């Protein structure tokens, strides 16, 4: 057995040596053979750009992944950074902003190392967008301002306007309207020098939004219509949809609900054509809001159901908003039982969002620190790379290869021997863990039974509940619904409702949440 292992190692070492030798020999002609990979890479990039323009982001990601492998294989550094940036933008457009940050950071690091200011400004801006859409406005403004500083140095007019407008949007959301207006004005004044219709449309959209918040509704409508016209002239369907929806909200403020509903439905039709899940979901919610304002509550609930079906389970903030909207509709319909159910769901989601925001705020501070630290490292690496020689000494490389071969052979031999003992130890450990798991399971089952009896007795003593009422209250604290409690206690749902009503009276509360808080069983 050991003889066969050493024969395998000898063969592997010979193969590695042959491969590395051919690699060294091929270095001299490597520069002559890069034309074909570059042409192929350029073709991939063009295909990805075309797919991104048509908003086919899933297909674009597949092509970008293939392009990235080719760029890494041929050491096309600048192209790697561009691909990382495009991949981040595709993920962001698919509402996967957390994942996009990783790719923007990689693009940012490479752009800094190769001193590509145009690309660096773009990645700073895209990173800001990712932080904006993950609810971290301070970090978003930080990266937008970094983008502005780089773009101003190289005279990138459209890039400056884009970043100014992005800063204005974040400040507007934070209700810092004077500052938002100042930055948006800078972007607006650059429009005559620009050609990118998407950036121009977005600036008009932000300008209209600020007019709307200032209650200058006629000016807001003019700006929204200009945005729609620019988007229509350039077949920018997403811009048309956003323009319709935002213009509809102005009509709603003026009490013209029929016109508002028609505009929102046109926007929804465009979103369906583009097959963008998040936009479809938000358009369904917008139409539902319009029906609510028109007091057509059943139609509003139908569109909220459609919004739920289009909603990804990770969009917690939007799910909470949908539940809140359902609560408002059921309350307006005087269906207070259904309203209470959706209010409780919305409240629980709101609490989870609050905890998530606290976690993100901490992560935001750490990210800012790591980013500044990384920028310092990039600056130091840049200085070193300017001095460092680009030529590799072939003789030293051969010596290094021989050393690696010896080390590799020794490591493989050591791993083969070690693997036998490891397998035996692993089997023994798994057996012990299984036995311990069985013991823990029996103990936990016993503790749960004992704790339930203690809680029931405490409820009876402290709040003068009957034994059955105390049992119902204990099961409520464990998150059981009425039908689950009825099944566990072998009674009907109506009996459980009767007991819950008596519990509310004795505890002097009006909801389950209040009952749980009063009996200290929520923790």
pLDDT tens string 223-277: 999 999 999 999 999 999 999 999 999 999 999 999 999 999 999 999 999 888 8
Average pLDDT over residues 353-370: 53
Tokens of 42: 């350029």
Tokens of 502: 């008596």
Q: How many residues does the chain have?
A: 523
Question: Per-residue confidence at 455, pLDDT binned at 50, 70, 90?
Answer: confident
pLDDT above 70 (res 454): yes
Among residues 266, 268, 334, the alpha carbon closest in space to that of 306 is found at: 268
The b/e string for 429-448 (b: 16+ C-beta within 10 A; e otherwise) is eeeeeeeeeeeeeeeeeeee
Residue given tokens 């050393």 in the structure block: 403
3-state DSSP call for residue 261?
A: helix
CB 330 within 8 A of CB 338: yes
Average pLDDT over residues 410-431: 67
pLDDT at residue number 476: 87
CB 522 within 8 A of CB 455: no
Q: How far apart are CA 192 and CA 91, in angstroms?
A: 32
**Range in 4-18, 96-110, 111-125, 507-521 with the lowest mean pLDDT:** 4-18
CA dihedral 96, 108, 154, 372 (to 10 degrees): 110
Q: Tell me which DSSP letter residue 29 carries.
A: G
pLDDT at residue number 19: 53
Question: Per-residue confidence at 382, pLDDT binned at 50, 70, 90?
Answer: low
Q: Tell me which DSSP letter residue 457 carries.
A: H
Tokens of 352: 């989870």
Q: How far apart are CA 286 and CA 34, in angstroms?
A: 52
Q: How far apart are CA 56 and CA 89, in angstroms?
A: 12
Mean pLDDT of the chain: 82
Tokens of 425: 């130890």
pLDDT at residue number 190: 94
Average pLDDT over residues 144-163: 94
Tokens of 133: 């859409």
Among residues 283, 299, 305, the alpha carbon closest in space to that of 332 is found at: 299
Average pLDDT over residues 445-474: 79
Greater confidence, 399 or 60? 60
**Range in 224-238, 358-372, 381-395 with the lowest mean pLDDT:** 358-372
- 485-504 pLDDT per residue, tens: 988 888 898 999 898 999 98
DSSP output for 301-353? HHHHHHHHHHS-TT-HHHHHHHHHHHHHHHHHTT-HHHHHHHHHHHHHHHHHH
The b/e string for 191-206 (b: 16+ C-beta within 10 A; e otherwise) is eeebeeeebbbbbbbb
Would you give the end-to-end CA distance of the chain in angstroms? Answer: 60
Question: Per-residue confidence at 386, pLDDT binned at 50, 70, 90?
Answer: low
pLDDT above 70 (res 361): no
């Amino acid at each position: 057995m050991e003889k066969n292992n050493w024969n395998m190692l000898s063969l592997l070492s010979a193969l590695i040596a042959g491969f590395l030798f051919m690699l060294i020999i091929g270095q001299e002609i490597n520069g002559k053979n890069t034309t074909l990979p570059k042409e192929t890479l350029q073709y991939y990039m063009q295909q990805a750009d075309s797919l991104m323009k048509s908003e086919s982001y899933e297909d674009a990601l597949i092509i970008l992944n293939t392009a990235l492998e080719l760029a890494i294989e041929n050491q096309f550094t600048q192209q790697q950074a561009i691909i990382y940036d495009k991949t981040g933008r595709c993920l962001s457009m698919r509402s996967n902003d957390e994942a996009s940050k990783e790719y923007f950071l990689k693009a940012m690091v490479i752009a800094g190392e190769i001193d590509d200011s145009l690309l660096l400004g773009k990645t700073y801006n895209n990173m800001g967008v990712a932080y904006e859409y993950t609810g971290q406005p301070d970090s978003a403004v930080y990266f937008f301002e970094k983008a502005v500083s780089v773009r101003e140095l190289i005279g990138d007019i459209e890039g400056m306007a884009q970043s100014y407008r992005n800063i204005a949007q974040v400040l507007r959301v934070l209700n810092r309207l004077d500052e938002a207006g100042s930055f948006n004005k800078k972007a607006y004044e650059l429009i005559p020098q620009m050609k990118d219709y998407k950036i121009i449309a977005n600036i008009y959209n932000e300008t209209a939004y600020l007019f709307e918040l200032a209650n200058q509704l006629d000016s807001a409508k003019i700006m929204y219509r200009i945005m729609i016209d620019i988007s229509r002239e350039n077949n920018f369907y997403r811009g048309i949809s956003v323009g319709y929806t935002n213009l509809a909200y102005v009509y709603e403020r003026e009490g013209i609900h029929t016109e508002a509903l028609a505009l929102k439905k046109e926007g929804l039709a465009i979103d369906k054509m583009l097959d963008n899940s998040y936009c479809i979901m938000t358009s369904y919610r917008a139409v539902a809001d319009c029906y609510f304002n028109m007091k057509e509550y059943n139609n509003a609930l139908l569109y909220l159901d459609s919004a739920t079906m289009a909603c990804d389970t990770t969009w917690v903030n939007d799910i909470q908003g949908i539940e809140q909207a359902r609560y408002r509709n059921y309350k307006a319909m005087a269906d207070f039982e259904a309203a209470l159910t959706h209010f409780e769901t919305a409240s629980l989601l709101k609490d989870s969002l609050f905890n998530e925001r606290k976690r993100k705020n901490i992560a935001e501070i750490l990210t800012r620190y790591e980013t500044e630290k990384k920028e310092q490292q990039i600056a130091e690496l840049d200085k070193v790379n300017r001095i460092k020689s680009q030529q590799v000494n072939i003789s030293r490389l051969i010596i290094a290869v021989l050393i690696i071969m010896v080390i590799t052979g020794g490591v493989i031999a050591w791993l083969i021997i070690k693997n036998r003992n490891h397998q035996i130890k692993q089997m023994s450990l798994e057996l012990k863990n299984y036995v311990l798991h069985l013991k823990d399971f029996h103990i936990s089952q016993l503790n749960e039974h004992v704790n339930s009896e203690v809680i029931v007795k405490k409820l009876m003593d402290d709040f003068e509940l009957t034994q059955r009422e105390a049992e119902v209250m204990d099961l409520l604290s464990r998150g059981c619904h009425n039908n689950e409690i009825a099944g566990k206690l072998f009674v009907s749902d109506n009996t459980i409702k009767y007991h819950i009503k008596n519990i509310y009276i004795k505890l002097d509360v009006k909801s389950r949440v209040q009952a749980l808080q009063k009996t200290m069983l929520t923790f």
